[in-house]
Amino acid sequence: MDVTLLRLRDDIPPLTAPVLLGAFDGWIDAGGAASAAAARLADDGEIVAVAEHDILFDYRSRRPVLDVIDGTLTHLAWPELAIRRQNTGERDLLILHGPEPDFRWRELGDITAEIAVRLGVVQWVSVGAIPAAVPHTRPVPVFGTASADGLLRDDVAKGPDGLLRVPSAALSVLEMSVAGTGIPTVGFYAQVPHYVSGPYAPGAIALIEQLGRHLGVELPLGDLPDEAVAQRSRLDAAVGDDEDAQRYLERLESIAGDEEGLPSGDELASEIERFLRGEGPGQAGDPPHAT
């Protein structure tokens, strides 16, 4: 095992009932909700472990950002994948956050599991977001997954029922590797309106609030509520200018209160396939893409 894939610091202070949270941008991160939630939680937390980026990333598909000032090449900002530590007052939260790796997923899963055992992690939490046929005018639905019964709160819908077969994310590989050590694992997935393009702050808020309820702590939201209000105004305006979009939104709202509103495996797979192809929902009257 190449331990340099995710190098752990030697001087980590004692941790209190640490929970390891994972979120990658890219796949299963509709509207950037999961990565925004993780970034908000990680904030300026101290780095506990850092990945070897040259091994994990294809820089042609995820290029570093170059600053050129007055004709001089000044600064390169490289993709960063790291674990940061935040203390919630009752326990430590470790946030593994960054771009989804391009290479060596299985090895990274193995070393992440080893680190989780070494640090005494008591639970792994994945956070993600998927495109779904839900309206932006209602609270963001969040469903959960769990490696065993009894890990999720009673008010969290576990689903979908039956078989859901979709392209895997690197995050899921890590979660399953950690679960293989016997550490309990759960996942929370926000359902983001499939007509939204760009960052979706309400999704990030829903994930942070769900995590807070799961852990029994209050977690900071920062400026996400202000962003959510501004995005709601833009979406309302975009839909209000299109009669077909208004009718489609009304249809979504009419089913939003259905207690059986959690999408089926086939519905989720269909939305994900369209998401991968870069298409919209493909129905007449779909609202325009908006941020």
What's the pLDDT score for residue 283? Answer: 38
Assigned domain for 27 exists: yes
What's the pLDDT score for residue 106? Answer: 96
The secondary structure of residue 290, as a DSSP letter, is B
How does 211-234 read in b/e, with b if 16+ C-beta sit within 10 Å? bbbbbeeebebbebeebbeebeee
With a cut of 70, list the residues of the chain below it in pLDDT.
1-3, 257-291
Assigned domain for 99 exists: yes
Q: SS3 of 77, please? A: strand
What's the pLDDT score for residue 280? Answer: 43
Q: Let me know: does 191 contact 143? Beta carbons within 8 Å.
A: yes
Q: How many domains does the chain have?
A: 1
Q: What is the pLDDT of residues 34-90, one digit of tens each?
A: 999 999 999 989 999 999 999 999 999 899 999 999 999 999 999 999 999 999 878
What's the pLDDT score for residue 260? Answer: 45
Q: Let me know: does 220 contact 108? Beta carbons within 8 Å.
A: no
- 79 CB-near residues (< 8 Å, 6+ apart): 53, 57, 59, 62, 64, 98, 99
Assigned domain for 5 exists: no
CATH, residue 186: 3.40.50.10900
| Domain containing residue 156 | 23-256+263-277
pTM of this structure: 0.86
Question: How many degrees, rounded to 5, is the angle at CA 215 between CA 45 and CA 25?
Answer: 50
Q: Let me know: does 75 contact 85? Beta carbons within 8 Å.
A: no
What's the pLDDT score for residue 291? Answer: 54
Written as six digits, the tokens of 271 are: 């939305």
Q: SS3 of 286, please? A: coil
- 69 CB-near residues (< 8 Å, 6+ apart): none
Assigned domain for 290 exists: no
Assigned domain for 3 exists: no
Assigned domain for 166 exists: yes
